[in-house]
Structure 1
Amino acid sequence: MKTVSSISLAGGQGKTTVVLFLARLLASQGHTVLLIDADPQSSLTTFLGFQVESDSPTLLEVLKKQVATEDGIYKTRYENLFLIPSDDALDNVQDYLAGSGTGAFTLKRRLTPIAKLFDYCIIDAPPQRSQICLTVIGASNALMIPIETSVKGLQSLIRTLELIAEMKDDQEAFDGEILGVIPFRDRWVGLRRTTESESNIDSMKQISTEWLGSDLVLPSIRESEKFKQAINKGLTLHEMGQGDLAYPVEVIAEKIKKLEVKPL
């Protein structure tokens, strides 16, 4: 199982959108995909139309080892797509992870028993530097970094890369790959990208080169209401007749397929 997380240390950067459309694409291609909603805001769980019952295990119980990992996994309405959901109670796991002494490895350990059941695991990380975020990074073979094409997005990119660099310094905490930076809400007017988007994407390339040694900025996700419409209707972009908007997600999927995973 290849485990890839979507991380960005600010809200509104496109993390959940990328996770959802990436997972739907991989599942539609016949791959078994496990989604993990590691954000207490639970946007991914909501987007999938999943209702968490009061007595149903979620990621909280999985992390605290109150249930076996497989007992926290649910089928979704989409073929080949499964979910470990969350709700706002997930915030209660912060002290548990901090007090365990090995919090960065907790999620990785919980996923080990079910690793042979899925082709891919895609995780939606919380938008804050937190114990949950650290354990998500620690469980990942690779990271993708969605960033809004705005000043707020650039600030988020720097904070995110700072955190990843810290965890890379500890080889045991994270020794995976950075798949790339994904510009989100890239604004165009007609056939031309706006000056603001152009400038911010250029800045992303500079920041990426400074921190990662090369320009890892991937094709951008354009600003479009079609994404929201597809989510609301439970459709893929291709099913919406918007294959051109799906291109950036297709690029990410191909990079994940080529990802080499080190044996546990």
Structure 2
Amino acid sequence: MQTIAAVSLAGGQGKTTTCYFLAKMLAQAGKKVLAIDCDPQANLTFFLNHEVAPDRPTLLEVLKGTVSTEDGIYPTNDENLFLVPADSGLAKVTEYLSGSGTGALILQIRLQAVKELFDYVIIDVQPTRSQICLTAVGAADWVLIPAESATKGVNSLLDTQKFLAEQAQVMAFRGQILGIIPFRDRWVGRTQTLESRDNIAAMREFADDAPVLPTIRESEKFKQATRQGQLLSELGAKDLEYPFEKIIELLEDCKQLNQSIVVAV
């Protein structure tokens, strides 16, 4: 099981968009996928068409350990795709995580119970330096950093890289950055705007050793797809799925490399 978290310390950077399409496309390819909504705004839960019932457990109860991890997992409308949902009540878990002594490891611990059931876990992470964010990062084998192709996105990238480096220093993040994803790359016809071009160039400059992945173009098709619970290819916009196809290829390459290393050892 590989765990991938989308992390950006600012809102509107494309985290939920990335998680939604990545999870659905992996599931469509036959992989068993668990999506985890680690944000009290619960946008991923909404996009995956799950309505949280008042008497049913969510990520809050899973993290606190009042239910088993499996009891917090629900099927979605997509074959092979399952969800641990969130709602605004998830914010209440902060006190529990901060007082547990091992808050950064709680989600990783909870996922051990289902590691044989899924090929991939995709985590949509709250865009703040919160205890919820810390435990999501602590569970991640890989981090994707979506960043808007604007000045705000570049600043978010820098803040996120600093945050991950700080967590790595105290062994709270033991994964790796899979890549940086420029979001809302703006084009007019066949010409990329100067703002997008300059900001993506800045991302490459500040990326350190992390690859800058193919950009997510600005398009109303993304909103249309998430509102309707569909993939872009179902709307006749398969070309817009290219960034997610490349992420999946990268994940598969990393998986095969890890398997080769284990065999060699």
TM-score (norm 2): 0.95
Amino acid at match of 2:51: Q
Q: How does 1:101-180 map to 2 (within 5 A)?
A: 101-171=101-171, 173-180=172-179
Residue matched to 1:69: 69
CA contact (8 A) 2:177 2:210 kept: no
Amino acid at match of 2:249: E
- Deviation of 1:169 after TM superposition, in Å, equals 1.1
2-structure distance, mates of 1:49, 1:118: 21
- Deviation of 1:215 after TM superposition, in Å, equals 5.3
- 1:255 and 2:257 aligned: no
2-structure distance, mates of 1:111, 1:61: 13
Cα shift readout 1:89-148 (whole Å, capped 9, x = no counterpart): 000000110111110000000000100001110000001110000000000100000000
Cα shift readout 1:199-234 (whole Å, capped 9, x = no counterpart): 00000011112xxxx351110000000011111222
What is the SS of the residue equivalent to 2:90? helix
1-structure distance, mates of 2:229, 2:97: 34
- Deviation of 1:235 after TM superposition, in Å, equals 1.4
2:232 aligns with one of 214, 233, 237: 237
Residue matched to 2:189: 190
Amino acid at match of 1:80: N
- Aligned-residue identity in percent: 54
2-structure distance, mates of 1:258, 1:101: 36
Residue matched to 1:95: 95
CA contact (8 A) 1:40 1:87 kept: yes
2-structure distance, mates of 1:238, 1:170: 42
Residue matched to 1:246: 241
- Deviation of 1:170 after TM superposition, in Å, equals 2.3
Amino acid at match of 1:143: V
2-structure distance, mates of 1:235, 1:241: 11
- Give the superposed CA RMSD: 1.2
Amino acid at match of 2:75: K
Cα shift readout 1:65-88 (whole Å, capped 9, x = no counterpart): 000000000000111100000000
Cα shift readout 1:152-182 (whole Å, capped 9, x = no counterpart): 11111111001100111123x2221111000
Structure 1: runs of 5+ lacking an equivalent: none
CA contact (8 A) 1:73 1:82 kept: yes
- 1:226 and 2:226 aligned: no
What is the SS of the residue equivalent to 1:4? strand
Distance 1:131 1:215, change over 3 A: closer
2-structure distance, mates of 1:38, 1:111: 13
CA contact (8 A) 1:76 1:83 kept: yes
- 1:10 and 2:10 aligned: yes
Moved over 2 A (4+): 258-263
- Deviation of 1:258 after TM superposition, in Å, equals 2.2
1-structure distance, mates of 2:207, 2:95: 33
What is the SS of the residue equivalent to 2:144? strand
Residue matched to 1:57: 57
2-structure distance, mates of 1:257, 1:169: 28
TM-score (norm 1): 0.95
CA contact (8 A) 2:178 2:210 kept: no
1-structure distance, mates of 2:250, 2:79: 22
